Structure 1
Amino acid sequence: MNVQKDVVNATIIPSTDAHEGIGDLSTWQVGGRDLTTPGIPEAEEKKLLRKLDWHIAPVLCGLYLLSFLDRSNIGNAAVAGLTTDLHLPTNGLSVATSIFYVTYVTFELPSAAFLKRFGPSRMIPAIIICWGLVILFSGFMSTYGGLIATRLILGCCEAALFPCMSLYLTMFYRRSELARRTAFLFIAAALSGAFGGLLAAAILKMDGIGGRRGWQWLYILEGLVSVLYGISVIWLLSDSPDKAWYLNDRDKEMMKSREAQDAGYVGDSDMSWAESKRAIKDIKVYLSGFCQLGVDTCLFGFSTFLPVIIQAQSSSYTTIHIQLLTVPVYAWAALIYISLAMLSDRIDMRAAIMIPCAGVSIIGYIVLLTVHHNPAVEYFATFLVGTGIYLCVGLNVTWLNQNQAGHHKRATAIGIQQFMGNCGGVIAGQIYVSSGSPYYTVGHAVSLAGMCWATCGFMAMYLILRHLNARKSRLTKEQKDEMDGQAVKGDAHYEFLFCY
């Protein structure tokens, strides 16, 4: 076999032969540069990608923005009077935050497996319409028990969204193209904080209209937007490239060539419990989930409690002032993410980007733990924290996604990773408690520990993947022939090299 290789850090795909479990592949990639697909002029493929981006990215970003907006608006509502109006106990806000993730992680693990069965154009809109109705009716709750009930139902409704979106991206994009597209989702998550702060600042001025408090209008209007957007998604999302209304016949031909080229990554679309078992037995999946738990603990604490953290920095801040101060922090996090995600795609490396950024967030938490009574420095520290959080969460998802070959192995791996990671939401709700104000020492200390252990996990993953690539590169022809005879498939095949 004629294979071109860069054993340092390349994804190697055979240039001629077809192997069972890998598929009829027809190009190779080095350093993140995806060389032109045979039969597809480079200009045409770039045009196709732009078309996909214009029709897929805005829809998915809108979904993820609304999901983060709706789950995190409890922080905005809390500083606007929800805690007193509903007579929350001392730890009531923390319990309400954590309880969301109990049902979220319970229903998230199996959800991605149903995407192909029900189809994205039906399953994803149903998800957002359901949670939109929950948020809308949250504007009419009047007791602490009502808050807990709506948070439990909301967690159940939102659970399937991210696994389904991650899997949906792999149906349209090739392996080397995923980091930037996954980055779009987490940019939307970061922007939801900025947008949420501006939106809350405006809606809270409706306090008293119709006899309702500002935080109630916040829930009602945001829920209504989610329901209307969910209805529109029914026509905006396609179940597959073949059914995409925005692709012409030539585009669909190119998509088939790209699918054949990445056949080893995409895998068989038929249900395969054997692939799912391979994911369950893969230690890399659990290491990735361990890392995700650390960074998600930071993410959920940061995205939910940032208004409360800023409020505690100075007694002179008004409710509107607090909402507006969150905007630059989230905007900075989004800018850093898109810039470094594009760089990560270009150099085809993950750990080299994630580890330094995690270090910046670690410094930010140390500043928050050690500096008090200095609002300017404490506020600057929130920018440091935001630098690494969204980037590490998003790139870790991409990292796992592109290193798992086979549709159902990847779907199972994503479910396991997100199940482990979203347990961080339960932790985040219990570490930022009202009794910890104004310093929130426990919250910042646990978040610091989470970022540190995630950084150690990133280093371990880097070393493991590098070792596995080196071992594959040392295989003899006889060993490769033996693997072919055993029908070794997916990322276990010697032609599949991991990105690190």
Structure 2
Amino acid sequence: MSEPAKTELAHGQMKDVLDPDCIPMKPEEERRMLRKMDLHIYPIVLSLFIMQFLDKVNIGNARLFGLERDLGLHGNDYQLCVALLFVTYIPFEFPTPLILKQVRPNRLIPTIAVCWGLASICTGFVQNKGQLIATRMLIGLFEAGYFPAVSFYLTFFYRRRELGMRLFLVFASSAVAGACGGLVAYGVGYMNGMRNMSAWRWLMILEGIPTVLLGFCAYFVLANDPLEATFLTEREKYLVRVRRDLDLPSSPSSSPSPGPKDEKEKEKKEEKIEWDQIFSAWKDWKVWTMTLAQIGVNTMIYGYVTFIPTIIHAMGYSDLHAQLLTIPCYAVGALSYLAVAYLSDRSGYRGYFVLGGCVVACTGYAILLGTPRYGPHAQYAGCLVVAAGVYVASGLPLSWLLNNLPSDYKRAAGQGTCIALGNCAGIISSFIYRTQDKPTYYLGHGLTLGFVFVSGCLYALTTFLLRRENKRRDRGERDYLLEGKTPEEIEKLGEYHPEYRYLY
């Protein structure tokens, strides 16, 4: 993580928070403030993300407990039910960050959490394919906005280099959720027949109830922004905004940091949607290279988390044994992702680690494709290797894009575009692991390998171009952009300011 009281500027110069133009702040005080924000924000944010993941993918565990038999699903009906969640999930992801400030985080986030929890509970009572599709589409509708909203929400409190590790923790919690999901599913398996209900029904109900309760708690826990955070002192509220402004390029004409009253006025002005920044995101090349790459890696992660119980079961393991064997896969994914998150934040690099994740994941799928004749142990080893790369390759780029879009609304639009279009992969992944392809699933593994390889190439291109642009700015080749501009025009340059440096 970056040093507490410094920010990067051009030509390797550093600006200290103890600068007379800034407000004096000791490193110990800054670390104490960060811990305070982490302790108030992260328990509820991570808990809800874990429940979101479980409520979305527990259909994979439910399949081993007779869901298809009980609901009369045949052929690829199961794949259809998995895919249709994304019909509502995708279109509602994009607008969420844009309306977050309008609706207020402590209303939007708890409301959608309660709604998807109720939809999950209702899934435990469905009687046919049509009802299952309806509840799955409702889960997709309400879950769609959670990750984009939380990602944008965290930018209100943290600086660029601090945001990386914290977003990693949110995304890595999905691996923790997967491990917990396998363990919960194993335990719930012994409830089969209780009150004349199948184990998969109990699974849906018992994983939906905590979501509803956490949603109600979130309303009282989450602060809308630093200025309304009751857990921060007046000085800390001001310092949060000062620290965020340090990530922006400095300007000789910049006015001194505003006082608390001016901060509140500025916050009100920022609630107005800046359409020029939104269109700027859609014209930015890096938004599109990373969006296309995200489709490839999301095909991998959605196929993996949804079908890993089915894939392991097809190797010859029993239903309950297959549920247990998913736990080491998610544990490997979580540990590798957290290790890479730490190293990435410490070094300030993103692209190199993303490429490493793609290479590891491709190696895992190559093992799965080449070892069916060597038995289930070799195949399971392939699943573990994929796990070591899947979260790094699909989660790290989400933080990487946010790090390179300093404007709030450009960040919201760029992130919303990347996440929404990237999740189209959920539809693709639902149909490439076909029932008739078991036990080897050559089609699913082969297509996923191809998608991840292409994504790796796009990430390599993005890394190269961002690194080249930084070198050009170091040589002063972009200084001409400041010529003839007013202070207001210079302030609006954002990441195009010659002093701004991209993270690559």
- TM-score between both structures, scaled by the size of structure 2: 0.90
- Which of 36, 43, 66 is matched with 1:81 structurally? 66
Are the equivalent residues in 2 in contact too, given 1:15–1:26 (CA < 8 A)? no
Match of 2:499 among 474, 495, 500: 495
Q: Is it true that 1:12 corresponds to 2:9 in the alignment?
A: yes
Q: Are the structure 2 counterparts of residues 477 and 185 from structure 1 closer, same or farther at C-alpha, using a change threshold of 3 Å?
A: closer
- Corresponding residue number in structure 1 for 2:119: 134
For 2:482 and 2:285, locate their aligned partners in 1 and report how far apart those are by CA, in whole Å.
Answer: 26
CA distance in 1, matches of 2:295, 2:145: 18
State whether structure 2 residue 109 is matched by structure 1 residue 105.
Answer: no
2:44 — aligned with what?
Answer: 59
User: Any idea what SS the aligned residue of 1:379 has?
Assistant: helix
Amino acid aligned to 2:498? Y
The number of aligned residues is 473
Q: 1:403/1:478 Cα in 2 relative to 1: closer, same or farther (>3 Å)?
A: closer
Alpha-carbon distance, 1:61 to partner = 1.1
CA contact 1:57–1:184 (8 Å) conserved in 2: no
What secondary structure, in the 3-state scheme, does the structure 1 residue paired with 2:29 have? helix
1:146 corresponds to? 131
Contact conserved, 1:11 with 1:499, CA < 8 A, in 2?
no
Q: Give the conservation status (yes or no) of the 8 Å contact 2:148–2:419.
A: yes
Residue deviations 1:353-382, cap 9 Å, x none? 121221111010011111114111111111
Distance 1:84 1:219, change over 3 A: same
Query: In structure 1, what is the equivalent of residue 298 of structure 2?
Result: 296
Over the matched positions of the two proteins, sequence identity in percent amounts to 36
- Per the alignment, residue 430 of structure 2 pairs with 429
Counterpart of 1:32?
none
- Structure 2 counterpart of 1:12, one-letter code: L
Deviation string, structure 1 residues 120-143 (Cα, Å, up to 9, x no partner): 100000111010010001100010
Amino acid at match of 1:379: Y
Match of 1:284 among 286, 289, 298: 286
Alignment-derived partner of residue 72 in structure 1: 57
Q: Which structure's relative contact order is higher, taking Cα pairs within 8 Å and 6+ residues apart?
A: 1
How far is the alpha carbon of 1:425 from its aligned partner? 0.4
Task: Name the SS of the counterpart of 1:425 in structure 2.
Answer: helix
Cα separation, 1, equivalents of 2:301 and 2:51? 16
**Separation in 2 of the partners of 1:475 and 1:425?**
44
| Matched residue SS, 1:148 | helix
CA distance in 2, matches of 1:433, 1:368: 16
Alignment of 1:319-468 (within 5 A): 319-373=319-373, 374-468=375-469
Give the counterpart letter for 2:98 in structure 1: A
* Structure-1 separation of matches of 2:457 and 2:11: 34
Amino acid at match of 2:314: A
- Per the TM alignment, residue 46 of structure 1 is displaced from its structure 2 partner at its CA by 1.1
Aligned residues of 2:44 and 2:214 also touching (Cα < 8 A): no
Instruction: Say whether residues 1:43 and 2:43 are aligned partners.
Output: no
Residue aligned with 2:25, SS? coil
Q: Classify the secondary structure of the residue corresponding to 1:39.
A: coil
* 8 Å Cα contact 2:10-2:474 kept in structure 1: no
- Per the alignment, residue 246 of structure 2 pairs with 261
Whole-Å separation in 1 of the counterparts to 2:12 and 2:177 = 43
Does residue 476 of structure 2 align to residue 475 of structure 1? yes
Q: CA deviation at 1:311?
A: 0.2
Residues 221-247 of structure 1 deviation map (CA, whole Å, 9 limit, x = unaligned): 111111111111111111011111222
- Look up the SS of the partner of 1:108 in the other structure: coil
In structure 1, stretches of 5+ residues that fail to align are 1-9, 17-24, 29-36
- Which SS does the other structure have where 2:100 is aligned? helix
For the pair 1:205 / 2:202, whether they are aligned, the reply is no
Q: Which residue identity is paired with 1:481?
A: L
User: Structure 2 counterpart of 1:115, which letter?
Assistant: L
Distance 1:27 1:398 in 2: 25
CA offset digits 1:63-117 (Å, max 9, x no partner): 1111110000000000110011111120011111111111111111112111000
Tell me if the contact between 2:98 and 2:409 (Cα under 8 Å) persists in the aligned partners. yes
291-300 or 248-257, larger mean C-alpha shift: 248-257
Q: Is the 8 A contact 2:23 2:239 kept in 1?
A: no
3-state SS of paired residue (2:232): coil
Structure 2 SS opposite 1:106: coil
Contact preservation (8 Å) 1:264, 1:406 = no
CA displacement at 1:12 relative to structure 2: 2.1
Q: Which residue pairs with 2:171 in the alignment?
A: 186
Cα gap change, 1:380/1:359 in structure 2, threshold over 3 Å: closer, same or farther?
same
* 8 Å CA contact 1:15, 1:27 repeated in 2: no
- Structure 1 vs Structure 2 CA RMSD: 2.1
SS class of match (1:141): coil
Match of 1:4 in 2: none
**Structure 1 match to 2:253:** none
Separation in 2, partners of 1:14, 1:250: 32
Q: Give how far 1:206 is off.
A: 1.0
Structure 1 counterpart of 2:435, one-letter code:
S
Normalised to the residue count of structure 1, the TM-score between the two structures is: 0.91
1:231 is matched with which residue? 216
Distance 1:177 1:473, change over 3 A: same
Provide Cα deviations, 1:287-331, integer angstroms capped at 9, x if missing partner. Answer: 0101111110000000111000000111xx222211111001101
